[in-house]
Amino acid sequence: MRFSSWNVRGLNKSPHQNELIKFILDNHLDFIGVLETKVKLHNAVCISKKINRAWKWLYNYDYHYNGLVWVGWNPDIWDITLHSSSAQHITCNAHFIEKDIHFLVTFVYAFNDGADRHALWSHLSSLGTCLMLWCVLGDFNCILSLNEVSGGREHWTPEMQSFKDCVVQVGLRHVHTVGDLFTWSLV
């Protein structure tokens, strides 16, 4: 069972599409959240078919004109159904068919503005009351610790505190990772 999220920072050009295809193949992925696609709705099906013609896809165009979050999966390996979505996330009921494992997964691409992220924190807090396994991954555009800063602010802000409060409230925690701080993989 392998799944991931990746912020592609635009998926309109062939080199970005090829990079995503390579990432999926190199990591033997069969389920992925693709973030910050910047693809218009009329191009989504064509581009997602270039990524993998056999996969199924969910998008959040109902909430954001750029479809900031896409979820793709191999239907022979995964049974994925939409749980909820917004401009900043797609949450799915995931069923890994081979092992009959069920869990909730949320792919996040949080807005850059701290005030705009409050709706996401509120939604995550409401999902935190579910009584099943839950994985939340993506680009939160916020940090939990000052050692995660790469340039920019070096002091604690109210936006960081709001994010930390949400994480603590719903009982989320970092999983162990390896590699450079800003480019890493799960162990």
For residues 37-63, give the mean pLDDT: 97
For residues 18-43, give the mean pLDDT: 96
The token duo for 19 is 């990079």
Own/partner pairs for 49-52, CB < 8 Å, 24+ apart? 50/17, 50/21, 51/17, 51/20, 51/21, 51/24, 52/21, 52/24
Q: Residue 172's pLDDT band (boundaries 50, 70, 90)?
A: confident
pTM value is 0.89
| Distant-in-sequence, close-in-space partners of 63: CB < 8 Å, separation ≥ 6 | 85, 86, 87
Distance of alpha carbon 46 from alpha carbon 60, whole angstroms: 16
What is the structure's pLDDT at 105?
96
Residue with tokens 């295809």: 21
Q: Among 13-17, 72-76, 79-83, 181-185, where is mean pLDDT lowest?
A: 181-185
Q: Name the residue type at position 91.
A: T
Q: Residue 152's pLDDT band (boundaries 50, 70, 90)?
A: low
The token duo for 89 is 């996330």
Q: Residue 180's pLDDT band (boundaries 50, 70, 90)?
A: low
What share of the chain has pLDDT > 90, as a percent?
Answer: 66
SS3 content of the chain, % helix, strand, coil (to 5): 30, 30, 40
Helical packing angle, 14-26 and 41-51, nearest 10°: 40
What is the structure's pLDDT at 187?
40
Which CATH homologous superfamily contains domain 4-186?
Endonuclease/exonuclease/phosphatase (3.60.10.10)
Average pLDDT, the chain: 89
